[in-house]
Amino acid sequence: MHLPNLFSYFVIFGFGVALGIALSFHLKNISLFSFDDQLHQLSSSSSSSSSSPPPNIQPSSPTLHLVTTTGNQTTVNTTRTGLNDYVSLRPNNNNAMHDMTEEELLWRASMAPRIHEYPFKRVPKVAFLFLTRGAVTLAPLWEKFFHGHEGLYSIYVHSSPSFNETVPQSSVFHGRRIPSKEVQWGKFSMLEAERRLLANALLDITNQRFVLLSESCIPLFNFSTIYNYLINSSKAFVEAYDLPGPVGRGRYNRRMRPVIRLEQWRKGSQWFEMDRALALEVISDKKYFVTFKRHCKASCYADEHYLPTFVSAKFWKRNSNRSLTWVDWSKGGPHPAKFQRRDVTIEFLKRLRSGSHCEYNGKRTNICFLFARKFLPNALDRLLRFAPKSHCYKNIQVKYNYIYRFFIH
């Protein structure tokens, strides 16, 4: 008796399923036909209401909208911004001044393209970074050095913020002062000034090599020789050596561990030269820089230890471990020897240019120093007379009245 009942249940269930499927398909077709009818009526009414053809809309070039808000005023600038505006920080490259904070400057300068091929013609330049108290006292000599080589160099001057003497508009140093802060000899502010110079020079994408100089530095060769030496070098020039004793390892602070260990501690000249890749690493470093700022104080002179230690610990393969700036420490003391007018002779300058032996790009050479210091302003007339000659040099009428007061020394 149960089997016939079970069979009848299955029949009823199957009939219900079939009926449901058929009904759903029917309702779907009705809705589709209804939608098509509505769409047809809508299109018909639109075509009847307007006999004119639809407007031919041409695609327009994308426009960059720059929105600037000042107080309660909002300005929209629809001017197109091209590659040149992104590559150059300022439209007027004759002025190195800007209003960026230190944090903004380092952030902007640390940007580097990952694609190494440039989409424009790029002539590499050498950035000359002058760390001075005031004026570049040997400016006429440098004017003679730079003359005729525009487009191959950049100049940046970090002087005391209180220095307010003007520079002639005809000078290569005109408008080349960067936003500066007070610098004290032997203090950490010296290192901060060096990084500030590097960061400002890195804003120019065409700067490839960077050399730090002081107001008492002189070039030992003409511009072409120095430019080719630097641009073609495969290594940086940061002097670094391990020195036992109180003025070497004795300045190491154990609180620098574990970031810096005693065996990594190095000493060297602050007068460096480096390529763009290393300069980017220096201004982006926070680990070593912060450690030095916290623990390198008193008799620990950061400008003599930070770069030698940092470069030796992380980039020793890219460094030559020597400086390109000749300095005389033979007399001892905390400061190198100074050179006056009577010290400047042809024989003396020749000895500086070729009296040493070193390695350059894997080969031995007697050209080891490209610059020298410390030369007093009263030596300027002899330096101009004995300056290395070049076919690009011409007689220049020097108009630096603010230099002449130093001749009385």
Confidence (pTM): 0.75
Q: In one letter, which amino acid is 311?
A: V
What the block records as the tokens of 385 is 């007379």
Helix (H, G, I), strand (E, B) or coil at 360: strand
Average pLDDT of the chain to the nearest whole number: 81
- Residue pair 292/191 in contact (Cβ under 8 Å)? The answer is yes
- The pLDDT tens digits for 284-303 are 999 999 999 999 988 899 99
Residue 246 makes CB contacts below 8 A (sequence gap 6+) with: none
Measured CA to CA, the distance from residue 238 to residue 303 in angstroms comes to 12
How is residue 326 annotated by DSSP? E
Q: What are phi and psi of 196, to 5 degrees?
A: -65, -40
pLDDT digits (tens, 9 = 90+) for 214-270: 999 999 999 999 999 999 999 999 999 999 999 999 999 999 999 999 999 999 999
Annotate 76-143 with DSSP letters as a single string: EE-----HHHHH-S-S-TT-------HHHHHHHHT---S--S-SS----EEEEEEE-SSS-TTHHHHH
Six-digit token string for 21: 């499927």
**Rounded Cα–Cα distance for residues 142 and 217 (Å):** 10
Please give the Cα distance from 12 to 22 (Å, whole number). 16
Q: What is the pLDDT of residues 320-370, one digit of tens each?
A: 999 999 999 888 777 899 999 999 999 999 999 998 999 999 999 999 999
Q: What is the pLDDT of residues 40-53, one digit of tens each?
A: 444 444 444 444 44
- pLDDT of residue 62 exceeding 60, the answer is no
Residue 177 has pLDDT above 50, yes or no: yes
Report whether pLDDT(13) > 50: yes
